[in-house]
């Protein structure tokens, strides 16, 4: 199957990044969001990142113009009827995602593949909301999408080999590295990363060391580019808590129990960089 037209649903940081990468790789992309302001912000972010790439000599002015010409803002989900692939990048909530997939199942052409950028939720359950579970797959991009090379491709229970192969081939077209992953809570990335972040929060909670010193140990001792507490702030503490809850529920194992300090920060509205305060304070 040949993919030409793509829709990305959700114009936030992940959605706009995914849309940019597809448009730069020669696909025609609809960036969809029901919120006009969020959509305008997403398009504006893409323009800024492309301008920065031109300024740094990584992209020509012509390449920037061509990329933007392949990008169409959309507030109407019905535009998906023109697409060969739809990637959902909305809030990490099963009810919201299954609602979107039910609608897409009735709107998109019979051949279209439906993908989710979920970072932890089961693809099999998302696929069950459609009449085409064999054409539903996970595409977990890493943040920031234009920079990070990895894409976890997650097979649901009924994902067909043809669907998987189409998405793997297309991921290479995006100049990304695909990794095949089976449908378990958190996949590979967050099953390993989130418990490490959670343990770092326990280390702070128990008074073992300060946030700065915990992060310094991991940066200088383990050669991580960013400490786990700073990384949690960048991801969003509400997102970290949600993923830990998915792991805890999915595996029914106490080792995935979210740290009480993480819950307390989220309840206080200290969500990290996006709220101005998490384990660190931001301007």
Structural element, H or E, at residue 162: helix 161-173
Separation in Å, CA 125 to CA 95, 119, 178: 10, 14, 22
Catalytic residue among 140, 172, 189, 275: 140
Quick one: DSSP state of residue 281? Answer: B
Distance CA(179)–CA(160), nearest Å, equals 16
Distance CA(262)–CA(223), nearest Å, equals 25
- For 27-83, the DSSP string reads -EEEEE-S-HHHHHHHHHHHHHHHHHHHHTTSS-HHHHHHHHHTEEEE--GGGGGG-
Concerning whether 28 is annotated as a catalytic residue, the answer is no
User: Left, alpha or beta for 252 (phi > 0: left; psi -120 to 50: alpha)?
Assistant: left
Catalytic residue among 152, 168, 199, 210: 152
Catalytic residue among 5, 16, 117, 190: 190
Pairing of strands 150-155, 71-74: unpaired
Concerning whether 245 is annotated as a catalytic residue, the answer is no
Concerning whether 162 is annotated as a catalytic residue, the answer is no
The neighbour count for residue 54, using CB atoms within 10 Å, is 16
Structural element, H or E, at residue 85: strand 85-88
- Reduced to 3 states (helix: H, G, I; strand: E, B; else coil), residue 138 is strand
Concerning whether 143 is annotated as a catalytic residue, the answer is no
185 CB burial (10 A radius; 0-12, 13-18, 19+)? middle
Catalytic residue among 117, 119, 120, 198: 119
Annotated active-site positions, please? 119, 140, 152, 190
């Amino acid at each position: 199957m040949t993919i030409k037209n793509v829709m990305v649903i959700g114009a936030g940081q992940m959605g706009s990044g995914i849309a940019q990468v597809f448009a730069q790789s020669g696909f025609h992309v609809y960036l969809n969001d029901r919120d006009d302001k969020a959509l305008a912000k997403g398009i504006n972010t893409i323009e800024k990142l492309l301008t920065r790439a031109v300024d740094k000599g990584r992209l020509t002015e012509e390449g920037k113009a061509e990329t933007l010409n392949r990008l169409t803002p959309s507030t109407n989900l019905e535009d998906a009827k023109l697409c060969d692939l739809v990637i959902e990048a909305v809030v990490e909530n099963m009810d919201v995602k299954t609602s979107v997939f039910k609608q897409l199942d009735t709107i998109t052409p019979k051949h279209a593949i439906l993908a989710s950028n979920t970072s932890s939720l089961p693809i099999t359950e998302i696929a069950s909301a459609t009449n085409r579970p064999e054409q539903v797959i996970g595409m977990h991009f890493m943040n920031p999408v234009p920079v990070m090379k990895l894409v976890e491709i997650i097979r649901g229970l009924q994902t067909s080999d043809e669907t998987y192969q189409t998405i793997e081939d297309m991921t290479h077209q995006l100049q990304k590295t695909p990794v095949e992953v089976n449908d378990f809570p958190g996949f590979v990335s967050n099953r390993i990363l989130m418990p490490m972040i959670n343990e770092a929060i326990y280390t702070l909670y128990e008074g073992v060391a300060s946030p700065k010193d915990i992060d310094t140990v991991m940066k200088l001792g383990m050669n991580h580019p960013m400490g786990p507490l700073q990384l949690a702030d960048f991801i969003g503490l509400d997102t970290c808590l949600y993923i830990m809850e998915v792991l805890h529920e999915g595996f029914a194992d106490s080792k995935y129990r979210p740290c009480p300090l993480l819950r307390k920060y989220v309840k206080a509205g200290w969500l990290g960089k996006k709220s101005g305060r998490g384990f660190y304070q931001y301007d």
